[in-house]
Amino acid sequence: MAAWLGFEGRVAVRFLREGRFQTLLIIVGVAAGVAVVAYISALIVGLQRNTLSKTLGAQAHVTLRPLDDEVLSARLPDAPGTQALVQTQARSQRPRSIANWQQIVPVLEALPGVSAVSPMVSAAGLGLRGDGARAIALMGVELARYDRIVQLRSKVVAGEARLGPGEAIIGRELARDLGLSVGDRISVVLGSGGRTVSESLRVTALVDLGVRDLNRRTVYLPLRSAQSLVGLPGGATSLDITLRDVWQAKDLARELSGRWPYDVESWQEANAQLVSALNAQSVSTSLIRSVVMIVVVLGIASVLVVSVVQKQREIGILRAMGCTRGQILRVFLLQGALVGAFGSLLGVLLASALIWVFTSFVRGADGLPLFAITLQPLLAAQISVIATCCGVLAAIAPARRAAALDPAQAIRT
Amino acid sequence: MTSADPMNPPLIELRNVSKRYNIGQPTEAEVLHGVSLQVEPGEFVALIGPSGSGKSTLLNILGLLEPLSGGSYRLQGEEVSGLDDAHLTLKRHRALGFVFQFHHLLPAFTALENVTLPALMREGRVSPAQDRHARALLADMGLGEAFQKKPGELSGGMQQRVAIARALMMQPPLVLADEPTGNLDMHTSDEVFTLLRAIHAARRTSFLIVTHDPRLAARCDRVIELVDGRIRQDGQSPAT
Ligand SMILES: Nc1ncnc2c1ncn2[C@@H]1O[C@H](COP(=O)(O)OP(=O)(O)O)[C@@H](O)[C@H]1O
Ligand SMILES: [Mg+2]
C-alpha cells in the first residue's frame, strides 16, 4: 500500500501543487460546499433536538391508558338470512382505572430501554380563587416518580417542589391568571359521577413546562388526593413511561398494545404533526446535501478533466518510462481524494466559524442563544468522509481518460 | 541477416513490418511498408530521412508505444507483437530508455527526482543505491550542480541531458532517441552528441537516434535511411 502510494502519492501531490490556482479554487469550492452541508446539518440537528426536548420535556415518551368503553349491542344474534341496521350510540367516557396497574409497573420497569414509569390520575376541572375561575387539568402524581418522567423539579420557577397531602404545584400562567403565588390556596372543583367534589390545595411551587398552554392549565396534586377526588381509590388513569432512546417509543407502544388490552400511545402518535414536520425538515436537508454534493462532484470532475488534457505529454512520457495504466488511474483518483479531503478540512473549519457566529450573535428575545447548535465531531467526520468519497467519485471519469491515453499519441502532441 | 545463435539473439529484429493508420477509415494510410531491420547489442545507429518518411513511427514501434499492423518484431529474441499493455509496459521499463525532441521532463519535479522517477514508479521508493546511481548519472552529464533544480530553471541543453540521464536510470540495453538535438543550437547539439558517444563508449548501451543533421549522422557507426516508409539505405557510416 505505502509502496504504490509512494509513486502515485508523490505525483498526485506534485500535480496538484503545480496547478496552484486551479487547485486552490477547487479546494475552496469543495470547502464552501462542505461548510454549507455541515452548517445546515448542525443547524437542523440543533433545531430538531431543541424542538424535541421542548416537546418531550413535558410529556411521557409512551403513555398507557385503559381501552375506551365500547358499547355493545344487546340484541340477540340475527337469524340467518335477515339483515338488520343497528345503530349504537357512543357512551360518554368516564374516568376509569387501569386494571392491575400495580402489577404492571414493575413489569414495565424491567423492560430494556425503559428508564422510568409513573402512575397518574388525571381529570378536567375548574380552579377557583376568589372570583377567578379557570379550566384546569388535574394531574395526580407521585412526585418522586413523576420527576423522572419530565424532570419537574428542574422546571420550578418559584417555591420548592413538594407534594404532601393537600399540596399542589401549578403552572406559571395559571398562577398569574388566578393571582396566585407560592403559599396561597387554590380550590379545585370537578364533577364526578353526577356530584361535584372540591378540595382546597396549598401551592408549593410554580413550574414552567415550556409550553404556554400547559402552563395555563396544569395543576399537579398528590396521587392519593386525585384518586379520592376522581372517585378511583387506589386507581391510575394512565401510566407514563420514559425511555432511554426516544426513537424506541413507537416500537415499544406497538409491542405493548399487541401484548396487553390497553391503549398504548407513543409520543410520535400523540404529536403526529410535529413528527411529520421534522421529517419534512430532514428530507429538505438531505435534498440540499445531495444537490451540494453533486455540485462538488461536478466541480472536481471538471477541474480534473482540464488537468488531464494539460498533462497529456507528461502522462505520455510516464507511460513510455513504464508507468502502468493502473498507476496513472490512481494518480488522478488520488488527486480527487486529496482535493476532497483538504476541501472538507477547510469546510469543517468554515462551518465551525459560521456556527460560532450564529451562537454568538443570533439571540432570542431574552438575550440567550436561540438554541444550542454545535458541529458534532461525528457529523463532521461523516461529512468529510462523504466529501472525500465524492472527490474520488468525481475523479473516476478523468482518471480513466488519463489511463486510456495512447502514449505515442500523447507524446506526439 | 538472420541470427543463427539462439543464445545471443539480436537486440532488435524487425521482419517485414508495416504500419497503417486510421484503418477502416477514409483517411487510412500505410506509413511503413515492409521494413526489415536488425540491430545488435552495442550498436550506435542513426535513423535519417526526410520529414514524414516514418522515422518517428518506426521508433515508436521499436519503443513498444505503438502496435505494428503487419510483420514481426522480436526484442531481445522475444516476439512482442502479441503482448498486452501490461507486458509491453513492463518491457519498456526494463529494456528501453527514451529521449524525445522536447525533453518531456516533469516540470513539478527536480532534476534528480525526474531521473529517479523510473525507480520510484516500480518500487514506490528510491533506494539509497538508486539515489547514488542517479546522482552519478547526472554528474556524468555535467549536471553536478543542478540536482535540486526544476526543469524550468535549466537551459534546453541541460534539460536534454537530464532526460538522457533519466533514460539511462534503469540501465536499459537500448536507448531510443527521437531528434534529441532537434531543439538545440549547433554547439549544444554537438556537446549532447559527444555525451551520447561517451556513454556508449563507457556502457556499450545500444543507441538508435533519429536525426536530421547529416553531421551528427556521420558521427554514428551505422546509418539507416528511411524514405517514404521504406529503408532506402542501410550501411556503415563513411566517417568510421
Ligand atoms: N497517429 C497518426 N495518424 C495518422 N497518420 C499519422 C499518425 N502519426 C503519423 N502519421 C503519418 O505518418 C507519416 C510518418 O510520420 P512520422 O513517423 O512522424 O514521420 P517522421 O518522424 O519521419 O517525420 C506522416 O505522413 C504522418 O502524417
Ligand atoms: Mg518525427
Q: Compute the mean pLDDT over every residue in chain A, rounded to the nearest whole number.
A: 88
Taking an 8 Å cut-off on Cβ atoms, the answer to whether A411 and B100 are in contact is yes
Residue with cell 443570533: A362
- A48 lies in the same domain as A135: no
Kindly state the percentage of chain B with pLDDT values over 90: 81
pLDDT band at A92 (very low <50, low <70, confident <90, very high): low
- Single pTM value for the model: 0.79
pLDDT tens figures, A15-62: 999 988 999 999 999 999 999 999 998 888 888 888 888 788 778 899
The rounded Å distance from CA B51 to ligand 2 centre is: 7
The angle formed by the CA atoms of residues A328, B95 and B134, to the nearest 5 degrees, is: 75
* CB of residue B56 inside a 6 A radius of ligand 1: yes
Residue A260's pLDDT is: 86
How far is Cα B138 from Cα B96, in angstroms, rounded to an integer?
A: 19
Here the cell at position A102 is 400495580
Residue A192's pLDDT is: 66
Which residues between 194 and 213 in chain A have a beta carbon less than 8 angstroms from any beta carbon of chain B? none
Which ligand has the minimum distance to the alpha carbon of residue A410?
Answer: 1
Q: Which of A207, A236, A265 represents a domain boundary (last residue)?
A: A236
Which residue is closest to B64 within chain A, CA to CA?
A320
Candidates A23, A4, A1, A10; CA nearest to A299 is A23
Element (H, E) at A141: strand A132-141
Which ligand has the minimum distance to the alpha carbon of residue B60?
Answer: 1
A128-132, A167-171, A342-346, B94-98: segment of lowest average pLDDT: A128-132
* CB of residue B51 inside a 6 A radius of ligand 1: yes
- A30 lies in the same domain as A116: no
Are A160 and A252 spatial neighbours (Cβ–Cβ below 8 Å)?
no
The rounded Å distance from CA A411 to ligand 2 centre is: 11
A147 located within any domain: yes
- A15 lies in the same domain as A98: no
- A101 lies in the same domain as A49: no
Taking an 8 Å cut-off on Cβ atoms, the answer to whether B104 and A317 are in contact is yes
| Residue A60 backbone class (left: φ over 0; alpha: ψ -120 to 50; beta: rest) | beta
- A313 lies in the same domain as A212: no
Strands B12-21, B70-75: pairing kind: antiparallel
- A223 lies in the same domain as A331: no
Which residues between 321 and 360 in chain A have a beta carbon less than 8 angstroms from any beta carbon of chain B? 321-325, 327
- A325 lies in the same domain as A388: yes
A332 located within any domain: yes
* CB of residue B50 inside a 6 A radius of ligand 1: no
A266 located within any domain: no
Q: Which ligand 1 atom is nearest residue B59's CA?
A: 17
pLDDT band at A69 (very low <50, low <70, confident <90, very high): low
A246 located within any domain: no
pLDDT tens figures, A261-276: 889 999 988 888 888 9
Q: How many domains does chain A have?
A: 2
A36 located within any domain: yes
The larger pLDDT score, comparing residue A211 to residue A19, is at A19
Are A332 and A402 spatial neighbours (Cβ–Cβ below 8 Å)?
yes
- A131 lies in the same domain as A210: yes
Q: What is the CA radius of gyration of chain B?
A: 18
The larger pLDDT score, comparing residue A376 to residue A350, is at A350
Q: Which of A217, A236, A255 represents a domain boundary (last residue)?
A: A236
Taking an 8 Å cut-off on Cβ atoms, the answer to whether B108 and A15 are in contact is yes
pLDDT band at A83 (very low <50, low <70, confident <90, very high): confident
pLDDT tens figures, B47-84: 999 999 999 999 999 999 999 999 999 999 999 988 99
A98 located within any domain: yes
Are A101 and A119 spatial neighbours (Cβ–Cβ below 8 Å)?
yes
Nearest CB to A407 within list B65, B117, B118: B65
Helix spans in chain B (H): 55-62, 85-95, 111-123, 128-140, 156-168, 186-203, 214-217
- A215 lies in the same domain as A299: no
- A208 lies in the same domain as A101: yes
Q: Which of A184, A219, A236 represents a domain boundary (last residue)?
A: A236
The mean per-residue pLDDT over the stretch A141-169 comes to 91
How far is Cα A134 from Cα A177, in angstroms, rounded to an integer?
A: 8
CA-nearest residue for atom 25, ligand 1, is B52
C-beta neighbour count of A259 within 10 angstroms:
9
The mean per-residue pLDDT over the stretch B207-225 comes to 93
Q: Which amino acid is at A282?
A: S
Nearest CB to B121 within list A7, A15, A313: A7
Taking an 8 Å cut-off on Cβ atoms, the answer to whether B65 and A408 are in contact is yes
Judged by a CB distance cut-off of 8 A, whether residue A109 touches chain B is no
Judged by a CB distance cut-off of 8 A, whether residue A269 touches chain B is no
pLDDT above 50 (res A1): no
User: What are the angstrom distances between the C-alpha of B212 and each of A280, B51, B122, B218?
Assistant: 74, 9, 35, 11
How far is Cα A340 from Cα A335, in angstroms, rounded to an integer?
A: 8
pLDDT tens figures, A304-329: 999 999 999 999 999 999 999 999 99
Classify residue A379 as exposed, middle or buried by CB count within 10 Å of its CB (0-12, 13-18, 19+). middle
How far is Cα B175 from Cα B164, in angstroms, rounded to an integer?
A: 9
Residue with cell 517514404: B228
A88 located within any domain: no
Candidates B118, B201, B107; CA nearest to B159 is B107
Q: Supply the range of the domain harboring residue A36.
A: 3-55+275-412
Here the cell at position A161 is 417542589
Q: Compute the mean pLDDT over every residue in chain B, rounded to the nearest whole number.
A: 91
Here the cell at position A73 is 349491542
A48-52, A142-146, B64-68, B134-138: segment of lowest average pLDDT: A48-52
A324 three-class SS? coil
Q: Which amino acid is at A335?
A: Q
Judged by a CB distance cut-off of 8 A, whether residue A135 touches chain B is no
- A197 lies in the same domain as A144: yes
**Per-residue buried b or exposed e for A119-149, using 16+ beta carbons within 10 Å of the residue's own CB:** bbbbbebbbbbeeeebebbbbbbebebbbeb
A175 located within any domain: yes
- A175 lies in the same domain as A115: yes
The larger pLDDT score, comparing residue A363 to residue A320, is at A320
The rounded Å distance from CA B54 to ligand 2 centre is: 7
How far is Cα B42 from Cα B63, in angstroms, rounded to an integer?
A: 17
The rounded Å distance from CA A307 to ligand 1 centre is: 27
pLDDT band at B240 (very low <50, low <70, confident <90, very high): very low
User: What are the angstrom distances between the C-alpha of B132 and each of A397, B116, B139?
Assistant: 39, 10, 10
pLDDT tens figures, B93-122: 999 999 988 867 999 999 999 999 999 998
pLDDT above 60 (res B1): no
Chains A and B form CB pairs within 8 A to the count of: 73
Taking an 8 Å cut-off on Cβ atoms, the answer to whether A322 and B122 are in contact is yes
The pick from B57, B61, B62, B231 for probing ligand 1's pocket by mutation, whose C-beta has the most ligand atoms within 8 angstroms, reads B57
The rounded Å distance from CA B227 to ligand 1 centre is: 13
Nearest CB to B66 within list A18, A322, A408: A408
Element (H, E) at A6: helix A2-18
C-beta neighbour count of A291 within 10 angstroms:
13
Taking an 8 Å cut-off on Cβ atoms, the answer to whether B123 and A324 are in contact is no
Give the gap in angstroms from C-alpha A338 to the nearest C-alpha of chain B.
17
Taking an 8 Å cut-off on Cβ atoms, the answer to whether A4 and B123 are in contact is no
How would DSSP label each residue in A240-260?
EEEESSGGGHHHHHHHHHHHS
The rounded Å distance from CA B60 to ligand 2 centre is: 10
How far is Cα B170 from Cα B203, in angstroms, rounded to an integer?
A: 13
Question: What are the backbone dihedrals phi and psi of residue A369, each rounded to the nearest 5 degrees, phi first?
Answer: -55, 145
pLDDT tens figures, A270-296: 888 888 988 898 899 899 989 999 999
How far is Cα A255 from Cα A111, in angstroms, rounded to an integer?
A: 11
pLDDT above 70 (res B2): no
pLDDT tens figures, B7-47: 788 999 999 999 999 988 999 999 999 999 999 999 999 99
Element (H, E) at A167: strand A167-171
Nearest CB to A322 within list B60, B92, B124: B92
